Amino acid sequence: MKLVILDRNGTLNVHREDFVKSDIEWTPLPGALEAVARLNHAGWHVVIASNQSGLGRGLFDMASLNAMHAKMHKMLAAVGGKVDAVFYCPHSPDENCDCRKPKPGLFLQIGDRYGIDLKGIPTCGDSLRDLQAGAAAGCEPHLLLTGMGAACRGVDPLPSEYPANTMVHDDLAAFVDFLLAREARDALQVAV
């Protein structure tokens, strides 16, 4: 199974310091929806793993979160894309749960749901905690220089707290370009 795990805020949609609290505030990043559609058309399953502590903090409710995701699904469908599932942590940071990134709980739930080992499964996000959670579950970490990741633009090498094998991409479209090019290159090597 070809699976990729994406963060949501700052990766697929615009990051807001004051939280994305409604479907009106949920705005896709330029080219992000089309990038997901390109993955889908190449046979990839796309899943989201997202901290949604705004629920635990009382900043929005489940109806608002569902409305955000309904808007996301509708906008993706309009460009020929889809997200198979959204896994989210509803807890505030002080609840010390196992599913809040940087802990790998959401990723382990994804592995269980799909019945797969996550070793080498690509994951991308815009923050250190996204990559730490994915790497702790065995995923291949990719940092996007969108959202909070913009602070790492021009930083080479990345700070030591980032997983050692982290790859860096300008945005979700660049990550998809990389993934599809690598897949094509690997297919050529197998054919030879």
Q: Which tens digit of pLDDT belongs to each residue from 24-74?
A: 999 999 999 999 999 999 999 999 999 999 999 999 999 999 999 999 999
What pLDDT, on the 0 to 100 scale, is given for residue 189? 84
The beta strand positions in 24-109, using DSSP E, are: 45-51, 85-89
- Mean pLDDT score of the chain, rounded to an integer? 97
**Would you state the pLDDT for residue 142?**
99
The pLDDT of 158-182, averaged and rounded, is 98
> Tens of pLDDT along 101-152?
999 999 999 999 999 999 999 999 999 999 999 999 999 999 999 999 999 9
The answer to whether residues 114 and 132 touch, using CB atoms and an 8 Å cutoff, is no
- pTM (2 decimals)? 0.96
**Phi, then psi, of 39 in degrees rounded to 5:** -60, -50
Using CB atoms within 10 Å of the CB of residue 59, give its burial: 0 to 12 exposed, 13 to 18 middle, 19+ buried: middle
Q: What is the pLDDT of residue 3?
A: 98
Select from 67, 102, 103, 59 the least CA-distant residue to 86. 67
Give residues with Cβ within 8 angstroms of 161, minimum separation 6: 128, 132
Outline where DSSP puts E strands in 11-166.
45-51, 85-89, 122-125, 140-144
Domains annotated for the chain, with CATH where assigned, are 3-191 (3.40.50.1000)
